[in-house]
Amino acid sequence: MEDREIEYRVRPVTRFIVTRFESVGHPNGRESGGCDSKGEFDNFDTAYQVGYALCRDEHQRLGWPIGDQRIKYPEPLLPRDGAAASEPNLMPMPVA
């Protein structure tokens, strides 16, 4: 059985880019992977919402359980005062 991990990230680059990283560990010990750009956005909130929605959709399609470590949701930016993100309902799924 392959050892598969997927991670979504939101990165600022003058604008915000949503990327999808995938790495696959094969039974023969070799690993492969890649990165796809899913879009550029003017602000973090829009990029985060898109990245989260893409990740949630793939998570549901794969049928992996909540908290599965093979898939990583984008991390919200924390304001300087340490308060919660502007969209608290878009926080990553809790680890079970």
Q: Max alpha carbon distance in the chain (Å)?
A: 48
DSSP 11-59: EEESEEEEEEEEEEE-TTS-EEEEEEEEEEESSHHHHHHHHHHHHHHHH
What does the domain layout of the chain look like in residue ranges? 3-90
d(CA 46, CA 16): 9
Residue 55, classified by CB atoms within 10 Å of its CB into exposed (0-12), middle (13-18) or buried (19+), is buried
For residues 20-38, average pLDDT:
94
CA atoms within 13 A on the CB side of 71: 21
Using one digit for the tens of pLDDT, what is the confidence trace for 47-80? Answer: 999 999 999 999 999 999 999 999 999 998 876 6
pLDDT of residue 2: 85
- Among 37-41, 57-61, 86-90, the minimum mean pLDDT is found in 86-90
Q: Check whether 30 has a pLDDT greater than 90.
A: yes
Structure tokens at 49: 């919402």
For residues 84-94, average pLDDT:
46
Kindly indicate the confidence band of residue 45, based on its pLDDT and cuts at 50, 70 and 90: very high
